Amino acid sequence: MRSSSAYPSGSPPFPPPTRTKYGCIRIRSRSRWLGTPPPSSSAWEQLTAQENSVQATLDLSGLSAGEHTVNIQIRVLVRPYQIVLANPASVSVKLEPLATQPLPLELSLSGQPATGYQAGEVTLDPTEVSITGPKSIVDLAVRARVLVSLDGVRENIDQSYPIQIIDAENATIRGLTVTPDAVRVTVPVSQQGGFRDVAVKVVVQGQIASGYRLEDISVFPPVVTLFATNPQLIEDIPGVVETLPLDLQDAKENISTRLGLSLPENISIVGGSQTVQVTVGISPIQTSLTLLNQPINIIGLPEGLDAQVLPQNLDVIISGPLPVLDALTPQDVVVNVDVSGLEPGTHQLTPKVEVFVSNVLVESILPGTVEVILFIQQPQTPTPTPTSRP
């Protein structure tokens, strides 16, 4: 016996709610519920496929300041439809007067310029801002502030900074419109007399070992601040100061050391350390080498078989550090062909090269394959021993 409806009550249940910014609503079409539609329900497919197909809005026109209960207006962009339930149907809204208030701009400086530098008078542009927003929030604002850090600066500051609105408890206030939203801050920074910044040049002597190359030389800090009680001594120094010589003779590895500076008398480096960190990168020269006519060894030959390989020699191209390649011996590179498990006949096999020295790579084998013929060993015929006649 067939039921007249697919649902016990004769009509489908409520569809799952469609969520909006303000709550949930349930929708059905004029002919059927859209919450549990059959696969052919084009209205439901459009409703779920389109973004913002269901919109909930509040009409606040004509309302004065204070608290109000406002009905939520539902708009559905798909036809046909019927709104069965909207939850909540209304919301509480508090309206406040829009207030605007000017605030003087205060500067908050932190940190100190680099040693030997001093900051001049700070200039703000503008010196006053305007804040706009709900009156209850505007009334909390007591000052506008801009934060500027002078920590380690060596050059003039001329840039824009964001503005913070602060309440009586020194907390930042949000939700206000600040006009302008940034302030231009100008701070002149100059070097004091008797101080000077100079670049550091590393002085080296000697040659690194043959077969190696010098990759880089770095120094930290690359710039140092010098001081002298007599400003004229500082003025007479060129823009570069040299380190004490670093000996590289026959070096084969990276070097990391501290070096002093070659300074005139009565001049010192500002700070605790009177040396700089020097790092030298040294590495072997990478090159390639072609080994000609390397013999091919057959390994894994089954018992009772003989083998013939064609060609009997091949060329191997290897790469690696120049000192390592220069010291290679014939025993360091071996070429093998493995015939383990093969039956008698002709086979095309790929040779394998073994290198018994570190940091050496096999780049190519010429030819890349060789022909190996396996055949059954022929029994050896004993050689007759001549007998002497009496």
Tell me the two tokens of residue 253. Answer: 């590895």
The reply to whether 158 and 168 lie within a common domain is yes
Is residue 386 included in any domain, yes or no? no
Quote the percentage of the chain above a pLDDT of 90: 36
Is residue 140 included in any domain, yes or no? yes
DSSP state of 172: B
Is residue 112 included in any domain, yes or no? yes
The reply to whether 66 and 29 lie within a common domain is yes
Give the CA-trace dihedral at 3, 5, 7, 12, to 10 degrees.
180
pLDDT band, very low/low/confident/very high, at 380 (cuts 50, 70, 90): low
Per-residue pLDDT tens over the stretch 48-84: 777 777 888 888 888 888 888 888 888 888 777 777 7
**For range 129-142, the mean pLDDT:** 90
Q: Taking 70 as the threshold, does the pLDDT of residue 341 lie above it?
A: yes
User: Does residue 136 sit in helix, strand or coil?
Assistant: helix
CATH number of the domain enclosing 114 = 2.170.120.40
Q: What pLDDT sits at residue 3?
A: 37
Residue with more model confidence, 73 or 86:
73
The reply to whether 24 and 70 lie within a common domain is yes
Q: Taking 70 as the threshold, does the pLDDT of residue 21 lie above it?
A: no
Is residue 23 included in any domain, yes or no? yes
Domain total in the chain: 4
CA distance 86 to 68: 19
The reply to whether 42 and 71 lie within a common domain is yes
Q: What pLDDT sits at residue 7?
A: 36
CATH number of the domain enclosing 39 = 2.170.120
CA distance 200 to 244: 11
The reply to whether 80 and 31 lie within a common domain is yes
The reply to whether 361 and 293 lie within a common domain is yes
- How high is the mean pLDDT of the chain? 82
Single residue among 67, 95, 123 that ends a domain in this structure: 95
The reply to whether 129 and 80 lie within a common domain is no
Q: Taking 90 as the threshold, does the pLDDT of residue 202 lie above it?
A: yes
Q: What pLDDT sits at residue 48?
A: 73
Is residue 383 included in any domain, yes or no? no
Per-residue pLDDT tens over the stretch 259-282: 999 888 888 888 778 899 999 999
CA distance 49 to 55: 14
Task: Compute CA distances 185 → 124, 126, 144, 182, whole Å.
Answer: 5, 9, 14, 10
Q: What pLDDT sits at residue 383?
A: 62
Per-residue pLDDT tens over the stretch 353-368: 999 999 899 999 999 8
**For range 200-211, the mean pLDDT:** 92
Q: What pLDDT sits at residue 102?
A: 92
DSSP β-ladder status, 24-28 and 255-260: unpaired
Q: Which domain holds residue 85?
A: 18-95
Buried b / exposed e along 213-224 (16+ C-beta atoms within 10 A):
eeeebebeeeeb
**For range 137-142, the mean pLDDT:** 90
Q: Taking 50 as the threshold, does the pLDDT of residue 40 lie above it?
A: no
